[in-house]
Amino acid sequence: MSKGSEEFREIANNSRHFLWFALVFSVFVNILMMTGPLFMLQVYDRVLGSRSEETLVALVVLVLGLYGFMWLLDFARSRLLARYGARFQSSMDDRVFEAQLGNDGSRPETASAQRDLEAVQGVFASSALTSIMDVPFTPLFIGVIFIFHPLLGWFALAGGLVLVCITLLSQVLTSKRVSEAQGRSEIANRFGENARRASELIRGQGMIQPVTERWMSHRMTALQDNMTAVDWTGAFSTFTKSFRLSLQSLVLALGAWLVLGGEMSAGAMIAGSILLGRALAPIEQIIGRWPQIARARQGWLSLRTFWDQMPDIPERTQLPPPSGQLDVKGVTISTAPGKPPLLYNVSFSVAPGEALGVIGKSGSGKTTIARTVLGLVTPTLGECRLGGALIQHYRAEDLGTYIGYLPQDPMLITGTIAENIARMSMEPDSAMVVAAAQKAKAHELILSLPDGYETRIEDNKIGLSGGQRQRIALARALFGDPVLLVLDEPNSALDQEGSDALNSAISTMKAEGRSVIIMTHRPIAISQCDTLLIVEKGAVKAQGPRDEIIKSMMKNSDGISRMVGDAQK
């Protein structure tokens, strides 16, 4: 058994005493369910026969007390089940969310894990699980009917078996349809979420109508499948309800026939009908809630698979803060057999106080180099060391403080600007936030916003431009004084003022003995670089001091000479 499977089992068993208590309460709840039938038996056979008002009052008081006790037990049972579901969800929420943010976030089971978890928690919070717990007591109620009269008991047993067969048939015929409908809905939801993230592009490129049509196509397919599933489950649910009511009436009629023949009392006739309804009610409720139960079962299996395949995160010793010395040796990154590697035998070094410019066309491997340095990609061959230690040997939370990263898309997270700069810390250090903003020359920009550092960002509704977002993201990268700064196309949205601020930040980093890597295909970004690395199709074509590489490339390539030559201006 894998570590993930053991952890999943441990989480599932962590609060299982809640389930055991719920099962114990179910025993007493179902025993107390016989209060009504026995009360009817006593009223018809004793009270009406003796015409004793004192007996009637005593029975009513006793019944009300028993019903009150049953309510308390049933309420406690539902609370226990709901809290087991809540504990199960809370124990997994953080790992599921972290997995969605990690390298395995693109796996289908990872993308839907949160919804799977909510489906499992939802079934524990509903009455579906209490119905399942009540089903084992159905034979108890039918057994009591046998005590009233064997013929009545056999009739009830036959009706119960028919209802069980209908339940099994419902599962066989509807499970696949329910699963397909849920899968179609998942596809539609993912498409809609993707479209919402690209809403500006869709509006700007006049794509609203075709995207809406595609989304409607997914939605209509999901809706049709859902209606098919609802029709099937509804057919079984309504038939079960009608069948149960019919059985109760037939049992009442059979009981009346037996009463007329003097084989049983009128009270037993009424009690038998009520007991049969109580015996079959859980089965009817299970059929009615079958889509929810099926979704929760599917979610449970998916979560178990997800947990089993979750990569183990080894415990790492906390290493001391490294220097800015970065050494990349012979790094090769392969994707799949038969396909060209993303990087091939890439080697370079960056010393503290130096800036390295990585130049290449789009798709040449620049971003992959950045991701390797950040520890987001593990080399197939070779190694990447920061301060002498392998990148993989640093704890993820520590490595993030040692390396500042400015991605191509400077996305800001919902929250205040101060929280974004502080990397969403629950208690941002104001002095460090302001220092990072000042180093990125974004302090005055932030002060000009409506609420300054407390200005909230909600899907960029405050109207930040691309350059403004990039400068705030640069401040985030500089937060905490990292020893290495990785900039991926940092000039993509900056104006002259923003470019000056970027160059100033790079100069400051170098002066403080920290190292910088700049991934770019824009020449203006290499003006602060000491060395250059030219990459093409994942391989190093040239590297060395900036001026030497410029001279060499000017002799061999007019295109590159124009690109790097402009950087001198």
141 vs 94: CA distance, rounded Å: 44
Q: What percent of the chain has pLDDT over 90?
A: 15
Torsions phi, psi of 416, nearest 5? -80, 165
Lowest average pLDDT, out of 102-116, 229-243, 313-327, 410-424, goes to: 102-116
Position 131 in a domain: no
Q: What is the pLDDT of residues 466-505, one digit of tens each?
A: 788 888 888 999 998 899 999 988 876 666 777 788 888 8
Residues 121 and 142 in one domain: no
| Per-residue pLDDT tens digits for 235-268 | 877 887 788 788 888 888 888 888 888 888 888 8
- Whether 398 and 523 map to the same domain: the answer is yes
In this structure, the answer to whether residues 271 and 365 fall within a common structural domain is no
Side-by-side strand order, sheet with 326-333: 343-350, 326-333, 381-386, 389-390
Whether residues 367 and 467 share a domain: the answer is yes
What tens digit of pLDDT does each residue of 326-339 get?
A: 999 999 998 777 78
Q: Is 73 helix (H, G, I), strand (E, B) or coil?
A: helix
Q: What is the CATH number of the domain that holds 280?
A: 1.20.1560.10
The answer to whether residues 82 and 107 belong to one domain is: yes
Strands 355-359 and 531-536, by their bridges, are: parallel
Q: Let me know if residue 318 belongs to a domain.
A: no
Q: Are residues 87 and 142 in the same domain?
A: no
Q: Is there a single domain that holds both residue 100 and residue 242?
A: no
Report the range of poorest mean pLDDT among 287-296, 533-542, 555-564. Answer: 555-564
Burial class (CB in 10 A: 0-12, 13-18, 19+), 318: exposed
Neighbours of 206 (CB within 10 A): 8
Q: Helix 266-288 crosses helix 35-42 at what angle (to 10 degrees)? A: 160
Secondary structure class of 117 (helix, strand, coil): helix
Q: Do 216 and 115 have their domain in common?
A: no
pLDDT tens-digit readout, 119-163: 888 888 888 888 888 888 888 888 888 988 899 889 888 888 888
Q: Are residues 147 and 103 in the same domain?
A: no
Q: Are 85 and 149 within one domain? A: no
Judge if 122 and 141 occupy the same domain. no
Choosing from 310, 344, 372, the residue where a domain stops is 310
pLDDT at 348 over 90: yes
Question: Do 107 and 254 share a structural domain?
Answer: no
- pLDDT band for 2, please (50, 70, 90 cuts): low
Q: 446 forms bridges with which residues in the sheet?
A: none
E-strand ranges in 57-107 read none
Parent domain of 247: 137-288
> Can you tell me which residue has the tokens 């299996």?
301
Alpha-carbon distance of 257 to 264, in angstroms, equals: 9
Q: State the pLDDT confidence band at 295, using cuts at 50, 70 and 90.
A: confident
Single residue among 279, 310, 341 that ends a domain in this structure? 310
**Statement: the pTM of the whole predicted model exceeds 0.85:** no
346: CATH: 3.40.50.300
CA-to-CA distance for 56 and 39, rounded, in angstroms? Answer: 10
- Of the chain, the percentage scoring pLDDT greater than 70 comes to 89
Number of domains in the chain: 3
